[in-house]
Every structure is written in structure tokens, then in C-alpha cells.
Structure 1
């Protein structure tokens, strides 16, 4: 029977789904997250013609559903909201502390940056704007940006670079003019990152927990891994941070989210500013 209402998730289904997500992706989903799962999955369950979660889970974990729908379900669960210039102190540190010294000491080597949990693209495009503004005032200066996420759906959204205007309303006018195109349709309040800047970012799907050999460079100068570790347990956090250290040059910087830290972990990082860590791995 097809239902058009809101479906409540039974405890057994929640346990089965949350255990799978934790096991495969390292993401914690305590009982308090059940309502979040319901809100994110309700439309998908109904669109597939199911009126409860048990047959839905049987389908997505079955032979056909595992291929056709399970990746979409994972995308819905793991997608997290982000903003342009979120946690602005990080970008102030880049502009005021890191970039001037980097340019002085590395005149001929491009800066390499990895946005390791890029979601729908706001973070890598913010990094691009910061680096591009620095480049304009400090020629010659070159950089490359790699962005990754576990969600193919959000990677596609990031690649497209289309946002509602309210998402950039807080940005200074000169950044809006320099990096965004407004829709020609007056009824469409969307903007899009200009194509010359969209092509400056390369996108890859990466599972930070289980991709032992991640398909990215081994020699980044900066890694942003913000507001994703909070979904992992402590041991998984430590494992991910140690893995990221292998992809940073000695002395490179790791940026974590405002509620994340390396406190109590055995990791090769020294804090240089709140939630900014220098790699001491040799």
C-alpha cells in the first residue's frame, strides 16, 4: 500500500540502518538521530512505494536495491549543511598568517589544498576566493584545490556550483561580482560560480574512514576536514587524523571544525591556533 503521510521508523529498522552506517562509514547515529533519519528518508521510502521501513530496508540491502538505491540513501543520510566563509577565523589566519610566509618561502611551488569533506561546495569555493584574492595582490602565486566527499550527490552539486542568492547575501559585493553569475531569469533567484573558477577545483569521492589509499595527492600544504569528525567515535577520529597526516607535507596545516580537537589523541600535530594544527609527521 502506498502512503502519502509521514512514516515513523521502528526501533529494529533504526538499529539495522544505524549499525550499517557506523560499520561502513564510521558515522555515529545514536537514538537521538532517529527523527533526523526519518525526515531525510521519508520522501525516498514513499517514492519507492513502501509504507514502512522494514520492507524498504529489505529492498535497499537486497541485490537490486543495493545497486540502485543504497548509494542514494547513504547520500541522504551523510549530507550536512554548510555555508560560505563558515568559521571565518580560519580564513583570516590563512590571509594574515599563512599565505604571506608561504609565498616568501615557496616562490615556485604551487600551494596544494584539500577540502576533505566539501559537502555542496561552499568550503572549497570559499578557499578559492581567499586564494584568488591573495593571488591578485601577490603575483606570481599558483594554487590547486582538491575537494572530496563521501556523497556523490553533494559532489555533483558542488561541481555545478549553483546556489540560491540568500546563500551569498552576506558576502561583500566585490566577491559577489568577481565570482558569481546571476541568473538571467528575473524569477530565478539563483547564482552560479563563474566557469573559470569552477574548473579550478577537482572533485573526488573519498571515504575518509575506509579508503586506505585515498585517490588524492600525498603532498598537500593545507587540509580542511571540518565538522565531519564529530560524527565519528574517538578511536575513528584518531585513525582519520593520523591518515590525513600522511597526505600533508611536514609543516602543513590541518583545519578542524570549531567543536573538534586532537585532545587526548596520539597524532603528529601541534596546535598553532584554535582548531588549526601543524603537521609534525616526518
Structure 2
């Protein structure tokens, strides 16, 4: 392969990355080329295309961009999450947020980068336990994510034993059902009582408006801001804060505390912010 061909291939890849960034806000710099090429090769294999060079040409020069872009976004999206991740946030919800809630309506939570659902289902377990202590307490949870594929996984609520290792034993007995897949490998599924409380939808945080109701009590926006540039970080935090009620709480990742910037937000604990004002 000639130097000119290599440079042409890199130019196509760079242009494709720029399109993905413009659509999703995810930064795909040159120093991540190995990771980017590795993920694009998943589509090469899925389509049975000869090589990455052929795939890039098909997408960028032969009219496949519109149909392939959702799949490219799926493979480029990092979906790392766990049950009870950054568990101090759930302790804060139990100790501080829930005791403050006195409204005669459902307690409303948005998991704004819900990935495969662990965060939303952890929240559902916490709120279900609170409902046992507070008769009449009701709640609803919506989880959204950019990846259509990962949203489908979240809706199923099915996890491997490795994925549920951080679920406390008492919660595991109450809220996870054991089973097996078609070849006998062990799996666990979130019980229907919790699955019915949590809705999932595909949504892009780069959109100008979010199809999520307002006056929410809690928004989790954890470990996603790190993938955006400064301008998009501010825009996303502002847009999400618009959906919080006055007195509502925003939880971000512990590495994101410094970028959760909005004049309406006051920090209350590590990576925990309260929306002030009316």
C-alpha cells in the first residue's frame, strides 16, 4: 500500500470521526486511532467487507453513510457501567434526597446516560426499598442513551453473574431472578416488578431539546461529560438542569465535578449538585 493510499484512508477515517463527533459530541482524536479502527472493524466483520479501507470507501464515497452511521455510533459508544457504581451517590439519595421529598406525586428520576441499565435498576432497587418504609411512596425512572443497541439490552434487564457482582446479597435475592441462556450459561434478570418501573429510550444529549419531562427530582449524568469538549459540557449540563425541579439534584461522575457548571447549581457533596432558585 502506497503512502498516498494510507493518507487517503486516514483522511476518510478522520472525516468520518468528525461526522460522529458532530452528531454525538464524542471526541475521537488522532491519538485514539487504534481504538477507532478496532471498533470500525466490528462493522467490517459484520458486513463481510474485505477490509477497513473498502468499508471506509463504501461509507464515505458510495452512499452508505446514512444507513451505516447509527451502527457506527453504536460501536463507537463506550458503555461502561456497573450496579452500585459510585455507591456514595445512592447513600446520599437515601440519607438526604428522599427524606426531603414530601410532594404528593411520584418521585421522578432520569438516568441520562443509562448505558445497559445498571444505574437505572440500582436506583429502582433503592426506591423500591424506600417504598417499603414509606407507604404511599411512588416513583418512576426513565433511562436514555445514545446507542440503540445498548438501549435494547437495558430494556431486557438480563445480566451475567459477573455483571451483578456488586449487587448486595439481600437485593440480589429480592430483585434478580436466576436462569440460563439457550446453551446453559447462567444469567440473571431484573424482576418484572422493577422492569415495569423503568422505561428506556434512545436519546442524543447533543439534541437541542430533550424529550423528557421537566420538574424531575433527580438526574444522573455520570461519566459521560468527560467525552465532550468544554462547550458541549456546558450546554449539556444546562439542558439537563432545565429538567430538574427547583431543589432537585444532579449527580455527575466524581471526575466531572469541575465541569458541572451552571449558575443554578450549588454543590452539596462530592459530585452532587442541587438546583437552586425557582
Fold shared by both chains (TM-score > 0.5): yes
Q: What are structure 1's unaligned runs of at least 5 residues?
A: 1-8
Alignment of 1:5-154 (within 5 A): 10-61=9-60, 65-102=64-101, 105-106=102-103, 108-154=104-150
Aligned partners of 1:257, 1:117: CA distance in 2, in Å? 11
With over 3 angstroms needed to count, the CA separation of the structure-2 counterparts of 1:62 and 1:194, relative to structure 1, is farther
What per-residue deviation string (whole Å, max 9, x for no partner) do you get for residues 123-143 of structure 1?
Answer: 100110111111112212111
Q: Which moved more, 1:163-172 or 1:241-250?
A: 163-172
Contact 2:237–2:261 under 8 Å retained in 1: no
Cα pair distance change 1:95/1:266, threshold 3 Å:
closer
The superposition leaves residues 183-204 of structure 1 with CA deviations (integer Å, 9 ceiling, x where unpaired) of: 1569321111112211211112
Partners of 1:93 and 1:266 lie apart in 2 by 21
Q: Distance in 2 between matches of 1:133 and 1:62?
A: 55
Aligned counterpart, 2:188: 191
Residues in 2 aligned to 1:281 and 1:65: alpha-carbon distance in whole angstroms: 48
Q: Deviation per CA, 1:220-250: give whole Å up to 9, x if none.
A: 1110010000000011100111111111101
CA contact (8 A) 2:209 2:239 kept: no
| CA distance in structure 1 between the aligned counterparts of 2:84 and 2:122, rounded to whole angstroms | 6
SS of residue paired to 2:256: coil
Contact 1:149 1:205 in 2 (8 A): yes
Deviation (angstroms), 1:281: 5.1
State whether structure 2 residue 214 is matched by structure 1 residue 218.
yes
* CA RMSD, 1 decimal: 2.1
Contact conserved, 1:182 with 1:192, CA < 8 A, in 2? yes
Q: Distance in 2 between matches of 1:219 and 1:266?
A: 17
1:177 and 2:176 are equivalent in the alignment: no
Out of 53-62 and 108-117, give the one that drifted further: 53-62
In the TM superposition, 1:130-279 aligns within 5 A as 130-183=126-179, 187-209=184-206, 211-263=207-259, 265-279=261-275
Q: For the Cα contact (< 8 Å) 2:158–2:190, is it kept in 1?
A: yes
Q: Tell which deviates more after alignment, 182-191 or 86-95.
A: 182-191
Q: Residue 171 of structure 1: CA displacement?
A: 2.0
* Number of residue pairs matched by the alignment: 270
CA pair 263-215 structure 1, distance change in 2 beyond 3 A: closer
- TM-score if structure 1 supplies the norm length? 0.89
Deviations 1:60-97 (A, max 9, x none): 34676334432111111013211001001100100111
Bigger mean CA deviation after superposition, 178-187 or 19-28? 178-187
> Separation in 2 of the partners of 1:281 and 1:232?
27
Residues 105-132 of structure 1: CA deviation (Å, up to 9, x unaligned): 32x2211000000000011001101111
In structure 1, how many angstroms separate the alpha carbons of the residues matched to 2:9 and 2:254? Answer: 34
CA contact (8 A) 1:13 1:53 kept: no
**Aligned-residue offset at 1:265:** 3.9
Contact 1:79 1:151 in 2 (8 A): no
Per the normalisation by structure 2, the TM-score is 0.90
Structure 2: which 5+ runs fail to align?
1-7
Kept after mapping to 1: 8 A contact 2:12/2:60: no
